[in-house]
Structure 1
Amino acid sequence: MAFRLVTLNLNGIRSAANKGFLEWAAQANADCMGVQEVKAQHEDVAGRFDTVAGMPGHFHYAEKKGYSGVGLYTRHEPSDVKVGLGDAEFDAEGRWVELRFDKPGRKLSIISCYFPSGSSGEERQQAKFRFLDIMAPHLARLKKTREFILVGDVNIAHQEADLKNWKGNQKNSGFLPEERAWMTALLGAAKGQGGLVDVYRRLHPDTTDACYTWWSNRGQAYAKNVGWRLDYHLATPALAEHAHTAAIYKDQKFSDHAPLTIDYGFSL
């Protein structure tokens, strides 16, 4: 049994396609692929990007053109599709698509989610905090009824090992004490209280420079590997236990993020 799950922030699906994303996806052999920052509308995707690597896609588009948006491609027919969180502010921004693969005796979801960035200013940072306030109880409720893996750009580097210049970024969005504490609360409960698991860190607890999935376009951040780990697989403990291999693909650059692929020992 095997299940390969990919996450990638595209920073625009049209831009990523021009940089070889479609060709890479065709040989990635994924069972599901979550994408974020699609930056497109239905009319841009239909007939061109609605199927990738033979996998039909399901999307949550932002109301604002050229902004946000998430998708989830799958080889397996879902039993149900949930689009949006049920929150007007963030559903307008296209941040959540959930595919359910339910069978008798099993309830399982794969989710593609894009957390807000607060780097453009205080207004967006406060929106990010509001999103976190909504997300924690939403995930807690979901976990009471089903197993799931959430993949996506969380826009938080959790620990010092998750970014190159941690000392200089302690007052910057993505590494603020409040954001890191939120992640700690989300993950720390996994040690006996049934919280979520950071699957990459479960497999690679001590990795530093090789763990980054995002690099600023400023300066020579990519060339010098001055990166951040912002892209995650967050899984319920039972599913996290099945994870056995993780890989960050850096041979080609489709966006300012790199694809994170994790193989699990279960099947849909």
Structure 2
Amino acid sequence: MSLTVSTVNVNGIRAAVKQRSETNLGFLPWLESSGADVVALQEVRADEDQARAALAPALDSGWHLIGSASSLKGRAGVAILSRHEPAEVRIGHGDPEFDESGRYIEAVYPGAIEGETVTVASLYLPSGTADTPKQDEKDRFLASFREHLAEAAAVVGARAGHEMIICGDWNIAHREADLKNHKGNHKTSGFLPHERDWMTDVLSGDSGWHDVVRHRRPDEVGPYSWWSQRGKAFDNDAGWRIDYHVVSDGLVHRAVHDRVDRAGAYDLRWSDHAPVTVVYE
């Protein structure tokens, strides 16, 4: 049995569903053609009723939806769509400052891969802006989320037959190979030295976590998953790789396929991010 997991920052689920709907190229047609069993969504920007209304055709066809909206209307928000209803759900990573910010949700799926339980999380890490309070907020999130990652790795490591995938928009390009214009972005949030060091620590050899796409593509530039709306970034493929599948030890070698569903042209996109999909066996 395989498990296909996708992650995508939808940049507003109502807009993503509506965009390109007249040409059958919006979020819902992508969802049905994705082959995914679980889809982690970020920047949903909708409360539960609004999200369910936007996704009604998918829910009517059997998809299950869980979500965590932000207490700030129209901001952030994470959700998970899945073919099977999760056995357990956890909202937030245990930091009271961020528990109602719509930035983290976990779902537990027993027997997801050959009888093993897999927890899938959707993460929308704050974007930050260098030398501003937004960066301070991001740095506070990084500190407490690192503690959560350490605790989660210990729990997964102690449970036989239990693995974990933390999908989402991590808003950090870890290496120079993860963005096109790395030389011009060393002072930009998302590529700041301390953020990259944080990511290195998260993915260190004994941390229990692995960037599975980079593991599969160690010498490749990209593949990018986000492009600025400014200028010709998309047309020139001047992108960033900030959407990750970070997986526990037992899954890193079980990934057999990965892809980025980059739109064929700028005017065919339904988000400024592209879905990142990995198949695990």
Q: 1:138 is matched with which residue?
A: 148
Report the CA distance between 1:47 and its aligned residue.
3.5
**More divergent stretch after superposition (169-178 vs 39-48):** 39-48
One-letter code aligned to 1:45: A
User: Is 2:237 aligned against 1:221?
Assistant: no
Q: Matched residues, percent identical?
A: 42
CA deviations on 1:124-170 (whole Å, 9 max, x unpaired) are 11111100101111011111112210000000000000001101100
- Which of 96, 105, 110 is matched with 1:88 structurally? 96
Q: 2:51 is matched with which residue?
A: 45
TM-score normalised by L of structure 1: 0.92
Q: 1:10 is matched with which residue?
A: 10
Q: CA RMSD in A?
A: 1.7
User: Is 2:272 aligned against 1:264?
Assistant: no
Find runs of 4+ consecutive structure 1 residues off by over 2 angstroms.
50-54, 105-108
User: Is 2:37 aligned against 1:21?
Assistant: no
CA deviations on 1:234-268 (whole Å, 9 max, x unpaired) are 00010121001110011341211000000111xxx
SS at match of 1:245: strand
Report the CA distance between 1:107 and its aligned residue.
4.7
SS at match of 1:224: coil
Cα distance in 2, alignment partners of residues 25 and 43 from structure 1: 20
Q: 1:239 is matched with which residue?
A: 251
In the alignment, is the contact (CA less than 8 A) between 2:13 and 2:54 conserved in 1?
no
- Which of 49, 61, 85 is matched with 1:77 structurally? 85
Q: Which runs of 5+ in 1 are unaligned?
A: none
One-letter code aligned to 1:245: H
TM-score normalised by L of structure 2: 0.88
Question: CA separation of 1:249/1:123 partners in 2, compared to 1, >3 Å: closer, same or farther?
Answer: same
- Which of 57, 62, 73 is matched with 1:65 structurally? 73
Aligned residue pair count: 260
Report the CA distance between 1:121 and its aligned residue.
6.0
SS at match of 2:84: coil
SS at match of 2:184: helix
User: Is 2:271 aligned against 1:255?
Assistant: yes
Q: Which runs of 5+ in 2 are unaligned?
A: 20-25, 157-162
In the alignment, is the contact (CA less than 8 A) between 2:77 and 2:103 conserved in 1?
yes
